[in-house]
């Protein structure tokens, strides 16, 4: 059996040792608290820097989207203008071809006149020159139509590329603006 005095001595020794451990542990605890607070402070500063960078990136994406929308509007306007030009050129070709058909008919009628000798007079020369001029005009108009159609094709490709870029930028904006910020709001750096 243990006497009461031995028990009191044993208990006092344990309490003294525990107090010594607590006193010896305080500087370590203070050091760890200081390290944790410094680390938390550094994390908070880094978090603020990253949040600012994301905000700048979001602003850049919004500016890019605005510019792409302007480009798309301008491209659509150009597509409409080129389409109107093509329609006008086709109409001009049709008009020229009807005049060309009339000039060909007149030349043909001159060669089939009964009782009149075929001769190369001033009227025939003018008709022949008119036919050549109309044929050259039609060729030029058809070349312009081909160039306009090629221009229209390229403009439509540009419009498609702009649409793709718009989709990419809008998706990136959604990811940065909504998803990243939502994830970052959940992170809480508390001081110890």
The model's pTM = 0.70
Tokens at residue 75, please? Answer: 């491209």
Domain total in the chain: 2
Residue 110's pLDDT is 80
**Other CB atoms within 10 Å distance of the CB of residue 57:** 15
Residue 23, domain extent: 1-31
Do residues 90 and 151 share a domain? yes
Residues 6+ apart with CB under 8 A from 191: 36, 37, 40, 41
Tell me, yes or no, whether 82 lies in a domain: yes
Tell me, yes or no, whether 63 lies in a domain: no
Do residues 14 and 80 share a domain? no
Q: Which of residues 163 and 47 earns the better pLDDT score?
A: 163
Report yes or no: 181 and 54 within 8 Å, Cβ to Cβ: yes
Do residues 21 and 92 share a domain? no
Q: What is the pLDDT of residues 106-122, one digit of tens each?
A: 888 887 777 777 777 78
In angstroms, how far is CA 135 from the centroid of its own chain? 45
């Amino acid at each position: 059996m243990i006497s009461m005095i031995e028990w009191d001595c044993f208990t006092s020794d344990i309490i003294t040792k525990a107090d010594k451990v607590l006193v010896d542990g305080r500087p370590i605890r203070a050091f760890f608290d200081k390290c944790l607070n410094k680390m938390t402070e550094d994390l908070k500063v880094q978090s603020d820097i990253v949040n600012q960078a994301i905000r700048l990136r979001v602003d850049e994406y919004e500016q890019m989207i605005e510019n792409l929308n302007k480009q798309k509007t301008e491209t659509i306007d150009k597509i409409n203008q080129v389409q109107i030009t093509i329609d006008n050129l086709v109409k001009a070709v049709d008009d020229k071809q009807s005049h060309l058909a009339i000039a060909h008919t007149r030349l043909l009628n001159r060669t089939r006149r009964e009782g009149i000798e075929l001769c190369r007079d001033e009227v025939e020369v003018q008709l022949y020159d008119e036919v050549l001029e109309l044929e050259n005009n039609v060729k030029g108009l058809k070349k312009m139509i081909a160039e306009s159609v090629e221009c229209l094709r390229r403009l439509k490709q540009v419009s498609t590329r702009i649409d793709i870029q718009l989709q990419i930028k809008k998706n990136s904006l959604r990811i940065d603006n909504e998803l990243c910020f939502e994830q970052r709001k959940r992170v809480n750096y508390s001081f110890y």
